[in-house]
Amino acid sequence: GLSLPKDTLRCLGYHGFCFHSKSCPEPFAAFGTCSWRQKTCCIDTTSNFHTCQDEGGHCVPPEIKCLEEQVGLCPHREWKCCTEV
Q: Which domains does the chain have, with CATH numbers?
A: 1-48 (3.10.360.10), 50-84 (2.20.20)
% of residues, the chain, pLDDT over 90: 14
Q: For residue 76, give the DSSP letter.
A: S
pTM, to two decimals: 0.55
C-alpha pair distances (Å), 31 with each of 16, 26, 57, 63, 84: 8, 13, 17, 24, 24
Give the pLDDT band of residue 19 (cuts 50, 70, 90).
very high
How many CA within 13 A on the CB side of residue 51? 14
